[in-house]
């Protein structure tokens, strides 16, 4: 007891100590628990510490959790009282709650502190960073070569971001007013650059850039010096800076011409240079509209030898533009450019519009984007009504339509896309004619969140390290999102509305989707738009709205925790056309440029929205259809149109284009004739000294190469004494010739000359100075040099050389000339003519086609040959395309002429004719006229003196000339033709011919030579003039010289002599035909015969004549086929001239058919079918009376014999019947019956016979002797067929039993009581009359008789009486009354059976009509 007490006391003491310890620990924990805000008040923490802590909290895995229970020690004793256990559990729960509250409070407090610290740090940094602009790296000066590019660069600092402006010599640089592609200005991250492309001497200037913000302004200066390159050995650059000079010194040797291609076809642009460029390929650049081009899958840039090219395939309209190639040069770069035009491909539907172009994607979001494109230039006469948009589906590898209803404008929002997926789009245009080909596909675009980058916070720490935090991760824990905000329409059109809204704030960490509802403004009926799939982004295009109605919209956000409340409703929104087509451009004007191009300019169009460009159209003057010049909109308002036809008149118009479509057409320009523009001529060249005295010189020169198609009015010369500084004028008035004598010179001095030429446009450029000529008198014996050497009539293997005689003759007059030639590739001059020529011209032959030649001339006198002339310009031996020669002939008046047409149309061309190259032909013997671009020389009085060479030259052209040698033989032939023209006789080609046409008409015709439209014809028959009548047609084909008479119903009145008199101007002739005697009779007979055949053939006729065939059913069918039928065509059948009504005729196919199902002797005869309508008739006969009938019967016999069925047997009332079924029995089948191989004849015991479809044998009262094998033989006309039956055993017994049954039935039927005849169905009688109802009966034994009225037996007394006399039974009703009306029946009965006969009795009063008779009458009167 004492030990136990001590134990309890010790246990109680330990319990008290444990309780006290627990209370102390709880109090300590309560004192230690404080919020994070309280703790942070005592602990200094920087913003960087907060950022790092927050970053670590975000990046830390969420696997760790605080366990409050670990803070407690294990209880030392598991046995504790209930009170202590409850207190312990309570304390643990309190501690856990405190820890959870602390964690939640820590999150909120940490976020607020971090945001506040970040905000303060950001404001502090911004305040510290605000400053005026400062150039950290200033501009520096540059010195470059001409035609090179230079880039000025500097770095600027400043906050806020300063605005930048570049200046050149104090003048702002504006990109809009500067030449296209001249300047390129960039401002990226404070790095400022100004690129000056293709520098010229004018680009040498002082450049400065000004940076300005709210705190001040800064400027940086630099000087650019552009130097001109004068050669490798000139100036300081040959020694000091040889490495700066380009190595390549080649030049362009060809001009890059405009390229015309078509969609989906290949294209190529190329040019040539004088030396190989392969080593400098990296320095060759191609540009399109100022944008550098690089090689791609569709585009290849190559440099092979001296050829530079850009090749592409396939071409798209986006490839159209101005292409420029830049190659290195000694002075920097040299360039050539050409425009490439890409026409629309031929559409699949004729009349469908061209394809759209420039498809681009804008405003890309997670699941939607905005598509835009440029409308086509060519609608092919029908305006574009809409566009279909398609996207490429990777899963099916097909283009999927994005819209079912065509959109009217060139913008379309595409929704329902997937974030992270890449898409491509294309567009088709549609008009009334059909759908265009698809456009080029857009560039690939990947769907993404556009604000994803804005949500990221970058925190730098530890030098160059940084931490990236998404703002969504800093949001407080939001489960169900709040409502979206600011629902609005970001774009409105007449087809759709694009809705936009802002995300909920806060939006939480979970991804959001949205549902959109709409309601008609003023109503509260909301309808969800996107029922199938939610929207992932904050944009949604809405289609299918009604015009004229206003709608309100609201949005609901959804995440995995639930749906937000509905947003506030948007303002009322309605469909409206916000885009309108631009107005028409004005002030359109077309100007001449070259022989194949024109310059068109027009006024700019200013409208909102900004236009995409302009489409230019052209047409021949007088045409109605416009053809597009360009298929990609032009950005400028001035354009050179190439590829035009020289000499043609063109008209032009312009249409501006924007995303709403093509604008109105501008006014049409005035017609412009395509030809060279009028410019000042180029400079004269190749000055030469022709003669020199003591104080005078005679100077000659060559005419300018370029005259703009106008005459040179004169030349202005300058002279320069080498001992003086200045140039002096030689003449004040223009010199018309290319030779000038200059006086008042100083002997022994050296002089050089230069000059300018002038035309109606003005004075041209000054020429290069000539060589220095010494002024000293010429005393040599040889002649001076000829001058003016020129080549004319250049052809593939020959040309004509002309020159002028030398001014200085020497010691004697010039006796001849020698011509020397220098061939391409040779340095040696060779003499062309061994013997000198006395004339100042020579035809050179045997030239090599395509080779280049130079010629010079030496004059010869008695002292020898003088100095050579200056060589002529290089000439290539080749006939130019389109070269015309002189045409020789006789005109309509009989004059011999030579004519020449200028192949290069120019304004008011001049033609210079000469004979034998000695000057203008004799004006008394010739007459020269001009009409447009054609000149004509007429020999007014031709004779032998006119034989010779005639030449013509067109000045101010590219050497257009020709010649023709008129020989004596050719002149004699021309004189003969002239005589025939002046004294003509119409020539006969084919004399009178007669023929009978297929329709029986007679044609008489002859042919003469071709006649003019003024020719006349007079036709005579037997001295009487005849003309056109309804039965006679006279045709006169003047173009082919054909005269014909077509006579219908040719008869006796057409016999006689026909004469045709033809007169054509001065020419005439007559031709006769005699049609009498046998010729007339034969022609008349043939005409009548063919007329009859024509009437038959022209109308309906039998393509297949009547023919018969027998079917498998033994039906005889007579068929035919009719051709050339109409709806009115009928077919009639007849047999021996008796019309048959059962004939059939198909009016569609022309098939006729007559079916005879039972063919017999009655169908024998002569069949005839007649087809006819208003055009005529035809008939076909078929004789089926003798041989035809027998053949048909044989065929029927054959088919029927083959169709005979196996023998069958059946019992009948008379006995046993054996039979065989056939399709059609004829006597020709000759059936024969056998019993046990013994032929059977018809007896009382055995009878045989046939029906139309059966052959039978009847055995009367059969017995056992009738058993055995029965055989039937049938003949088909050639062979015999057998059918057998073994009538024994069960077959005989069954047939015999059936016979007994039929026999008993016949007996019963014969003796049964029957009402044979006599009773009517209805009997009507007037009251008070006597009615007798009589009928005949039969039966053995005599039957019993019973009369019934209305199902009641009749009692015969008083008025009812019955009389039976043998088989006649009569019931009489005397003084009949209305009560006797009813249904009466008689029943006869014996032991074999009974039968009932009925009659209805109707009694009517006097003056009444029985109801039964009324009903019967009404039934007969009803229409059927």
pTM above 0.95, yes or no: no
Cβ proximity of 638 and 672 under 8 Å: no
Burial letters for 112-145: b for 16+ Cβ neighbours within 10 Å, e otherwise? ebbeebbeeeeeeeeeeeeebbebeebbeebebb
**Which residues partner with 1336 through β-bridges?**
1317, 1368
Q: Which residue has the tokens 């003669």?
A: 691
pLDDT of residue 369: 92
Question: Residue 61 has what pLDDT?
Answer: 41
DSSP 3-state helix, strand, coil percentages of the chain (rounded to 5)? 15, 40, 40
Do 1323 and 1401 touch, CB atoms closer than 8 A? yes
In this structure, the chain runs to a length of: 1424
CA-to-CA distance for 699 and 281, rounded, in angstroms?
Answer: 48
CB-based contact 1240:1233 (threshold 8 Å): yes
**Which residues 6+ apart lie within 8 Å of 321 measured at CB?**
288, 289, 339, 340, 632
Q: What is the DSSP string of 415-433?
A: -S--TT-EE-EEEEEEETT
The DSSP line for 560-578 is TTEE-PPPPPPPPEE----
Separation of alpha carbons 1043 and 1380, rounded Å: 104
Give the integer Cα–Cα distance in Å for 1049 and 883.
59
The single-letter DSSP state of residue 149 is -
- Pairing verdict, β 1151-1156 and 1144-1145: antiparallel
In this structure, how many other beta carbons lie within 10 angstroms of the beta carbon of residue 1306? 13
Scanning the structure block, which residue is given the tokens 């020579």? 842
Q: How far apart are CA 434 and CA 833, in angstroms?
A: 71
Element (H or E) spanning 311, and its range?
strand 307-312
- Under a CB-based contact definition with an 8 Å cutoff, are residues 542 and 499 in contact? yes
Q: What is the pairing mode between strands 1393-1404 and 1322-1326?
A: parallel
Which string of b and e fits 1193-1209 if b means at least 16 CB within 10 Å? Answer: bbbbbbbbbebbeebbb
Please state, as a whole number, how many other Cβ atoms lie within 10 Å of the Cβ of residue 1080: 17
Nearest 5°: the CA angle 36, 37, 39 is 65
- Interhelix angle 82-129/2-32, rounded to 10 degrees, is 20
CA separation for the pair 939, 511 (Å, rounded): 100
Strands 285-288 vs 321-329: parallel, antiparallel or unpaired: antiparallel
The H or E element spanning position 1138 is: strand 1138-1140
CA distance 512 to 561: 10
Do 629 and 617 meet the contact criterion of CB atoms below 8 Å apart? Answer: yes
Q: How far apart are CA 1012 and CA 1128, in angstroms?
A: 48
Taking only the tens place, the pLDDT of each residue in 660-693 is: 899 999 999 999 988 888 888 899 999 999 999 9
Tokens of residue 36, six digits: 């994070």
Residue 1051: asked if its preceding bond is cis (omega within 30°), the reply is no
Beta bridge partners of 825: none
> Cα separation of 1140 and 1132, whole Å?
8
Other beta carbons within 10 Å of 1218: 23
Token representation of residue 734: 């223009």
The whole-number pLDDT of residue 461 equals 61
Segments of the chain scoring below 50 in pLDDT: 1-9, 22, 24-52, 58-79, 232-246, 1423-1424
Selection from 873, 778, 855 nearest residue 817 by Cα:
855
Report the C-alpha gap between 530 and 240 in whole angstroms: 77
What per-residue string of b and e applies to 888-921 under the rule 16 or more CB within 10 Å gives b? bebeeebbbbbbbbbbbbbeebebebbbebeeeb
């Amino acid at each position: 007891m004492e030990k136990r007490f001590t134990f309890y006391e010790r246990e109680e003491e330990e319990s008290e100590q444990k309780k006290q310890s627990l209370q102390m620990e709880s109090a300590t924990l309560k004192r230690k628990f404080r919020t994070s805000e309280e703790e942070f008040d005592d602990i200094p923490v920087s913003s960087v510490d907060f950022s790092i802590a927050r970053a670590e909290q975000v990046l830390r895995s969420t696997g760790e959790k605080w366990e409050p229970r670990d803070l407690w020690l294990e209880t030392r004793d598991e046995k504790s009282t209930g009170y202590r256990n409850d207190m312990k559990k309570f304390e643990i729960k309190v501690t856990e709650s405190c820890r959870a509250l602390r964690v939640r409070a820590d999150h909120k407090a940490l976020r607020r502190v971090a945001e506040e610290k970040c905000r303060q740090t950001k404001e502090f940094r911004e305040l510290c960073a605000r400053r005026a602009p400062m150039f950290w790296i200033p501009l520096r000066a540059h010195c470059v070569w001409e035609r090179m590019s230079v880039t000025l660069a500097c770095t600027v600092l400043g906050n806020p971001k300063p605005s930048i402006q570049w200046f050149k010599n104090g003048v702002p640089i504006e990109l809009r007013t500067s030449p296209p592609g001249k300047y390129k200005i960039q401002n990226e991250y404070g790095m400022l650059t100004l690129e000056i492309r293709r520098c010229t001497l004018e680009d040498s200037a002082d450049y400065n850039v000004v940076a300005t913000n709210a705190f001040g302004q800064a400027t940086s200066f630099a000087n650019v010096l552009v130097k001109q390159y004068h050669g490798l050995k000139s100036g300081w650059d040959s020694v000091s800076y040889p490495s700066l000079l380009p190595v390549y010194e080649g030049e362009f040797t060809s001009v890059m011409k405009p390229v015309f291609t078509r969609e989906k076809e290949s294209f190529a642009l190329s040019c040539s240079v004088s030396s190989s460029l392969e080593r400098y390929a990296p320095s060759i650049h191609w540009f399109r509209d100022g944008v550098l081009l690089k090689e791609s899958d569709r585009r290849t840039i190559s440099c092979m030898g001296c050829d530079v090219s850009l090749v592409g395939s396939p071409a798209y309209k986006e490839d159209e533009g101005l292409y420029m190639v830049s190659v290195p040069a000694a002075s920097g770069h040299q360039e050539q450019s050409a425009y490439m035009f890409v026409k629309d491909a031929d559409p699949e539907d004729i009349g469908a519009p061209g394809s759209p172009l420039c498809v681009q994607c804008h405003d890309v979001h997670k699941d939607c984007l905005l598509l835009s494109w440029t409308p086509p230039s060519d609608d092919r006469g029908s305006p574009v009504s809409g566009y279909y948009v398609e996207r490429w589906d990777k899963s099916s590898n097909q283009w999927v339509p994005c819209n079912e209803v065509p959109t009217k404008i060139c913008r379309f929002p595409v929704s329902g896309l997937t974030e992270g997926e890449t898409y491509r789009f294309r567009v088709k245009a549609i008009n009334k004619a059909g759908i265009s080909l698809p456009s080029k596909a857009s560039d690939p675009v990947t769907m993404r969140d556009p604000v994803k980058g804005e949500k990221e916070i970058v925190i730098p720490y530890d030098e160059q390290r940084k931490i990236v935090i998404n703002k969504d991760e800093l949001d407080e824990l939001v489960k169900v999102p709040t409502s979206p905000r600011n629902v609005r329409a970001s774009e409105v059109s007449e087809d759709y509305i694009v809705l936009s809204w802002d995300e909920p704030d806060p939006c939480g960490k979970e991804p959001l989707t949205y549902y959109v509802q709409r309601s008609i403004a003023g109503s509260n009926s909301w309808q969800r738009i996107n029922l199938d799939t939610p929207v992932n982004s904050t944009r949604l295009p809405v289609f299918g709205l009604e015009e004229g109605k206003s709608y309100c919209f609201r949005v609901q956000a959804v995440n995995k925790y639930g749906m937000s409340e509905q947003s506030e409703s948007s303002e009322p929104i309605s469909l409206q056309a916000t885009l309108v087509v631009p107005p028409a451009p004005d002030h359109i004007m077309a100007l001449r440029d070259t022989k194949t191009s024109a310059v068109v300019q027009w006024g700019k169009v200013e409208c909102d929205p900004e236009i995409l460009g302009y489409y230019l159209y052209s047409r021949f003057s007088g045409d109605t259809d416009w053809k597009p010049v360009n298929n990609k909109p032009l950005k400028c308002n001035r354009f050179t149109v190439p590829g035009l036809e020289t000499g043609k008149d063109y008209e032009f118009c312009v249409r501006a284009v924007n995303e709403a479509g093509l604008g109105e057409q501008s006014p049409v320009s005035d017609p412009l004739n395509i030809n060279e523009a009028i410019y000042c001529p180029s400079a004269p060249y190749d000055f030469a000294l022709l003669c020199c005295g003591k104080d005078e010189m005679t100077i000659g020169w060559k005419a300018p190469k370029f005259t703009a198609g106008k005459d040179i009015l004169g030349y202005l010369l300058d002279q320069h004494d080498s001992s003086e500084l200045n140039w002096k004028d030689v003449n004040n008035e223009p010199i018309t010739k290319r030779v000038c004598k200059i006086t008042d010179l100083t002997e022994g001095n050296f002089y050089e000359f230069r000059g300018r030429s002038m035309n109606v446009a003005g004075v041209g450029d000054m020429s290069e100075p000539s060589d220095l000529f010494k002024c000293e008198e010429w005393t040599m014996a040889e002649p001076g040099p000829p001058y003016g050497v020129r080549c004319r009539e250049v052809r593939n293997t020959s040309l004509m050389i002309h020159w002028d005689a030398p001014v200085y003759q020497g010691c004697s007059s010039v006796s001849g000339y020698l011509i020397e030639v220098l061939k391409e590739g040779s340095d040696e001059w060779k003499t062309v003519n061994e013997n000198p020529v006395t004339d100042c011209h020579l035809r050179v032959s045997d030239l090599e086609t395509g080779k280049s030649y130079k010629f010079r001339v030496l004059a010869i006198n008695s002292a020898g040959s003088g100095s050579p002339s200056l060589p002529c310009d290089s000439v290539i031996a080749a006939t130019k395309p389109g070269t015309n020669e002189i045409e020789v002939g006789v005109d309509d008046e009989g004059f011999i002429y030579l004519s020449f047409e200028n192949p290069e149309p120019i304004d008011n061309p001049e033609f210079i004719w000469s004979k034998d190259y000695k000057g203008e032909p004799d004006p008394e013997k010739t007459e020269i006229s001009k009409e447009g671009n054609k000149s004509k020389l007429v020999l007014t009085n031709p004779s032998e003196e006119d034989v010779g060479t005639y030449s013509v030259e067109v000045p101010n052209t590219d050497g257009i000339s020709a010649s023709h040698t008129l020989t004596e033989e050719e002149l004699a032939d021309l004189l003969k033709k002239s005589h025939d023209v002046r004294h003509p006789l119409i020539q006969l080609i084919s004399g009178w011919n007669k023929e009978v046409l297929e329709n029986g008409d007679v044609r008489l015709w002859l042919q003469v030579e071709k006649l003019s439209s003024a020719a006349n014809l007079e036709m005579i028959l037997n001295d009487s003039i005849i003309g056109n009548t309804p039965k006679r047609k006279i045709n006169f084909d003047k173009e082919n010289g054909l005269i014909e008479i077509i006579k219908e119903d040719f008869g006796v009145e057409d016999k006689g002599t026909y004469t045709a008199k033809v007169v054509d101007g001065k020419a005439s002739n007559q031709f006769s035909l005699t049609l009498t005697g046998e010729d007339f009779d034969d022609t008349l007979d043939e005409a009548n015969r063919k007329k009859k055949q024509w009437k038959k053939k022209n109308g309906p006729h039998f393509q297949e004549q009547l023919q018969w065939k027998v079917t498998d059913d033994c039906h005889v069918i007579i068929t035919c086929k009719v051709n050339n039928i109409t709806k009115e065509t009928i077919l009639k059948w007849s047999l021996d001239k008796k019309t048959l009504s059962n004939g059939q005729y198909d009016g569609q196919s022309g098939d006729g058919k007559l079916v005879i199902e039972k063919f017999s002797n009655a169908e024998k005869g002569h069949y005839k079918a007649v087809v006819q309508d208003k055009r005529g008739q035809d008939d076909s006969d078929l004789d089926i009376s003798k041989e035809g009938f027998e053949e048909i019967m044989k065929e029927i016999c054959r088919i029927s014999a083959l169709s005979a069925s196996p023998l069958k047997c059946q019992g009948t009332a008379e006995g046993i019947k054996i039979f065989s079924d056939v399709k059609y029995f004829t006597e020709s089948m000759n059936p024969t019956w056998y019993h046990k191989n013994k032929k059977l004849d018809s007896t009382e015991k055995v009878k045989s016979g046939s029906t139309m479809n059966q052959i039978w044998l009847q055995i009367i009262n059969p017995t056992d002797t009738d058993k055995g094998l029965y055989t039937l033989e049938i003949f088909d006309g050639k062979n015999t067929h057998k059918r057998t039956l073994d009538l024994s055993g069960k077959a005989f017994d069954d047939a015999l039993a059936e016979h007994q049954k039929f026999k008993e039935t016949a007996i019963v039927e014969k003796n049964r009581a029957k009402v044979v005849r006599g009773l009517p169905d209805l009997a009507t009688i007037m009251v008070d009359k006597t009615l007798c109802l009589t009928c005949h009966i039969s039966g053995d034994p005599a039957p019993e008789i019973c009369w019934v009225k209305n199902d009641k037996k009749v009692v015969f007394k008083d008025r009812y009486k019955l009389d039976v006399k043998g088989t006649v039974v009569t019931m009489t009703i005397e003084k009949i009354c209305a009560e006797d009306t009813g249904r009466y029946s008689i029943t006869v009965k014996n032991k074999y059976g009974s039968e009932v006969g009925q009659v209805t009795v109707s009694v009517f009063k006097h003056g009444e009509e029985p109801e039964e008779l009324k009903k019967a009458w009404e039934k007969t009167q009803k229409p059927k």
